Copies of this chain bind each other. A is one copy, B any other.
Amino acid sequence: MLTRIDHIGIACFDLDKTVEFYRATYGFEVFHTEVNEEQGVREAMLKINETSDGGASYLQLLEPTREDSAVGKWLAKNGEGVHHIAFGTEDVDGDAAAIREKGVRVLYDEPRIGSMGSRITFLHPKDCHGVLTELVTSAKPSADHSSAEH
């Protein structure tokens, strides 16, 4: 079950300038940055609020690391703007399977690794009224880390 707006993914040409725009204009601070080579993006997560399911909502600012990445091709066609929206769930595998059963194309056979160790998949925008839609299950605190505390 999808229980929150997890993030809004925004494609930009220059991550540092865009981060600075969000900081200077609204006071939003960077919560996390990473490079995801598989997705071909360098990204910054700005945490906006926490959510009633125990998660949070972020803006995800995305700069392509190569022109032939999905985000790179999208930017070349569309310019900067909202690239996708993402809903949070405890069970991305189960929800993706159920949604595929309903005839919506799910872009990955198995979820892949997204921001901050999450597991993600995408739904085809043409099956979702034009909206590229991501499903996200956040990473749990690692078992190794937890056990080290005891």
Which residue of the partner chain, among B1, B24, B102, B131, contacts A24 with CB atoms under 8 Å? B102
What number of A residues sit within 8 Å (CB to CB) of B?
37
User: How often does this chain occur in the complex, in copies?
Assistant: 2
Query: Cβ of A12 and Cβ of B129 under 8 Å apart?
Result: yes
Contact, CB under 8 Å: B25 / A99:
yes
A35 within 8 A of B: no
By secondary structure, the A interface counts as mixed
Any B CB within 8 A of the CB of A33: no
B102 pairs with A57, CB closer than 8 A? no
List the B residue with the shortest CB-CB distance to A2: B26
Least CB distance from A11 to B in Å reads: 8
* Chain B residues with CB below 8 A from A2, complex form: 26-28, 48
Interface residues of A, Cβ cutoff 8 Å to B: 1-5, 8, 10, 12, 18, 21, 24-28, 48-53, 57, 59, 79-82, 85, 87, 99, 102, 104, 125, 128-131
Q: Min CB distance, A25 to chain B, in Å?
A: 6
